[in-house]
Structure 1
C-alpha cells in the first residue's frame, strides 16, 4: 500500500508514482497531479484547501492512502469547527484534547469517540418515532387515503400510523451511522477503533441510515442534551465533509475538511454572534439578491447584515486563500464591487486568513465604494481570534446608513 503525505497549500512536490496511480490522483480532484517534466517516473502533487485522509482503490495498483495535513494547528482547526457548529457551547473540564495529534482524521475520530462515550454513559436516549405500516390490527390512527388507494375498501390489512417510544430514533441512528463511517476509514488509531466498535455494539438495534438519503431531523431538547456534542460531530462526518464515491473504476473512501468552507462558516458565525448586541438581522449565504434589475443574475454574499427596517447595512465575504506574494487576488475585489453595487452599500469587507498581506482599503473610481480587505490571524489563541472578529463587528456597526 502506498502512503502519500502532503501539506495544505504547500508548493508542489515530486513523488515516484506509476502512471496508473498518478492518473487516479488527478481524476480524484482531491489534489493537483501532473507528470514531472524533469523526473521520469515521478508526478508533481499539490494539495489545495482539502485536509484529511482518503484511501483510493486503484484497479491494478492496489490502495493509495493520501494524507493531507492542515497548516493551522489541529487544536485551532477544532476550535474553528466547534465554534461554527455551536458558538454558545462552553467546553467543560472534560473537553477533548486533540493537540497530541498532527493529522485531521485521528484527531477527529478521537474527539468523536470521547463525545460519543459521554453521550452513551447513561444509556441510549429514547423518544417517539412515527411509524407507518400495513397491519391486521388497528394501532394508532388509520391512514384513510392510503387505505382506499391501496386496498380498495377491503377491511384488512389496515394502513396505520402510530408513535412508538423506543431507542430507534433519529439521534441514535445518526450516531450509529457516523460510528460505522469512521470505522471504515484509513488512519483511525487502533485504540480509538476498538472503542468505536464497542459503541457500535451498543447502537446495534437502531435502523441503519439509507445511503444517499437525507439525514433524519433531530432537535436539541433538554432530554437529549448530553447527545448534542456527539451529534454535531456525527453530522460533520455524514454531511459533505466526507468523501465516499466511485469515480469510474476508481473508488475513493475517506474524510476531508474543506478549509475554505470551514473558514467561511467560522467567520460568518462569529460575526453574527458579535453583531447580535447591535440589533438588526444577520443572514449567512444571503439569498434573494440579484445584480440586475431583471433579477436574472443571482449573487450570494457569504454574510449580509440588515438593519431593523430591513435595509442592508454591511456585506462581508470570507476568503481562505493560499499565501500569494502579490497580496490579495484582484478577482475578489470585482466580486465585492458587484455585491456593494447590488445592495447599495458604500463599503464592502473581504476577510482572509492571514498570509503575506495585511489590511488594505481600495476606493473605487466613479463608484463611491470602498472595499476593505482584512487579514485574520488564525495562529493565535481562541480568545484573541474572537477579539479580532469583535473589532471587525464594531467597525461594521459604526457604518452610518445613508
Structure 2
C-alpha cells in the first residue's frame, strides 16, 4: 500500500503555517535543507516554513514540499539555458514538463535522456587509453623489468604497455555515472526509468571506465570531473549532455535514504543562477568589444594577504580599466537596509583600486551614488523583473544594461 504524503506548495520568500511534519522529517529538514527553508514552531500549531531564494522539491518520508519561483517559468528557463549553455535545448521546454514544474527533477532527466539518445545516434566517443597487461606476445612497448620478473617465476608471458582505442573514456564514464544515479531515483513518469536502463546498456563502456577509477564519488567530485572534460571537435556532440550534468550534479546532489523509502530532492539556488546568467550574458556580449569578464576572483583588502574579498564579476578592457559588478537577486531596498550592499561594493572597489562599481539588482528603482572625497561612483541598476513583461521585452532591457556598461568604458 502506497504511503500517503502531504503536499505543501509555497513560493520564494513565502511563509506557510500549519505544516504537519513528523519529528524525524522536521529534523531532516533542519539538518539537510536549512539553507533553503527556515523551520520553526507555528503559533497556530504545527510548523511554520519560510522559503528563501531556492526553488525545487524536497521529499521527506511523510511530506513533499515544493518551492516555486517568483518569476515566470519562461524567464527561469532563459536563465538556465544561458547559464548552463543549453540554449539548443529550448525546443524541449514544453515536452520536458519544465513549464509546469520548473523546480522538479524530471524535466532535467528527460532532457538528459534525449541528449543521450542523440549521442548514441551519432556514435559514442572513443579515445586512446594506455593499458599495461601480461600477454602471450609482444604488443606495443615491451616492459623489460616486468617481463624478466615474470620469466624468473617461470611465467613465460610479456609485460606490455600499449594504447587501446576504446569507448572507455571520461565522457562515457560521466554519462554512465549520471545514468546510474538517475536510475535509483523515483519519478512520476514510469517510462523514465525504463529509458535510463536501456541507455545504461548502451553506455556499458562507461561503466567499465568508472570501475577502473575505484571508489564511489560524491556529487561535488562528479561536478569537478565533468567540468574538467574539454570540448573538442571529436566530442562536440556531448556538449549539451555535459552541460546538463553540471546542472544535475550541482542541484540534485542531495539524496537521502529514510529507512526503506528512497527520497530525492532537487533544489536550485536562484542567487547562484542569477549570477551565472549575468556572467555568461556579459561574457558573450562584451567579448567582441575587447572586454574580459572575470568571475569570482580572490582579492585582498588587507595587507599580508588578510581580509579576502571575492566580487562576483570583474570587467576589464584592453588598457586595464576595470568595473566591479556584483549581482543581487533581490529587489533594491530603500533606506538603511541597502547600505550593506554599498559598503560591500566599496570594499571590492578599494581592493581593486577601481573607480566604478555596479550593483545589479533583479528589480527595484535605480540610482547613482558618487562617493565623497574619492572620485568613485556606484551605479545601482535593475533588470526590472518586478514588471510583468514578456521574455523578449526583458531581453531588450538586458541589452540596454549592456549598452550602459559599454558607455562607461568608452
**Which of the numbers 53, 57, 67 marks the counterpart of 1:53?**
57
2:38 alignment partner in structure 1: 32
CA spacing shift, 1:25–1:83, aligned 2, 3 Å:
same
Using the size of structure 2 for normalisation, the TM-score is 0.80
CA drift at 1:175: 1.8
8 Å CA contact 2:21, 2:63 repeated in 1: no
1:315-351 CA distance string (max 9 Å, x none): 1111213786879733211111111122222221111
User: 1 CA distance for matches of 2:130 and 2:50?
Assistant: 50
SS of residue matched to 2:408: coil
Q: 1:306-385 to 2 correspondence within 5 Å?
A: 306-309=316-319, 311-321=320-330, 329-354=338-363, 357-378=364-385, 380-385=389-394
User: 2 CA distance for matches of 1:337 and 1:247?
Assistant: 46
User: 2 CA distance for matches of 1:347 and 1:9?
Assistant: 32
User: 1 CA distance for matches of 2:384 and 2:244?
Assistant: 25
1:177-235 CA distance string (max 9 Å, x none): 22232333344522333333332232234226432345254332333333221221123
8 Å CA contact 1:241, 1:255 repeated in 2: yes
CA spacing shift, 1:247–1:300, aligned 2, 3 Å:
farther
1:242 alignment partner in structure 2: 252
CA drift at 1:262: 0.8
CA spacing shift, 1:261–1:74, aligned 2, 3 Å:
same
The size of the alignment, in residue pairs, is 383
User: 2 CA distance for matches of 1:44 and 1:143?
Assistant: 68
CA spacing shift, 1:91–1:163, aligned 2, 3 Å:
same
Q: Specify every segment of 5 or more residues in structure 2 that has no aligned partner in the other structure, as ranges.
A: 211-215
1:113-157 CA distance string (max 9 Å, x none): 2222223224x413114244453465444679x969xx7997988
Task: Indicate the structure with greater helix content.
Answer: 2
CA drift at 1:382: 4.4
CA drift at 1:90: 4.9
Q: Specify every segment of 5 or more residues in structure 1 that has no aligned partner in the other structure, as ranges.
A: 57-61
User: 2 CA distance for matches of 1:222 and 1:284?
Assistant: 26
The Cα RMSD (Å) is 3.5
User: 1 CA distance for matches of 2:302 and 2:376?
Assistant: 18
1:75 alignment partner in structure 2: 74
8 Å CA contact 2:8, 2:63 repeated in 1: no
User: 1 CA distance for matches of 2:108 and 2:371?
Assistant: 44
1:230 alignment partner in structure 2: 241
CA drift at 1:369: 2.2
Using the size of structure 1 for normalisation, the TM-score is 0.81
8 Å CA contact 2:12, 2:67 repeated in 1: no
**Which of the numbers 379, 383, 391 marks the counterpart of 2:400?**
391
2:196 alignment partner in structure 1: 196
User: 2 CA distance for matches of 1:81 and 1:116?
Assistant: 19
8 Å CA contact 2:332, 2:338 repeated in 1: no
1:74-126 CA distance string (max 9 Å, x none): 33222211211228x5568x54434542243232222222222223224x413
**Which of the numbers 242, 253, 269 marks the counterpart of 1:258?**
269
User: 2 CA distance for matches of 1:323 and 1:22?
Assistant: 33
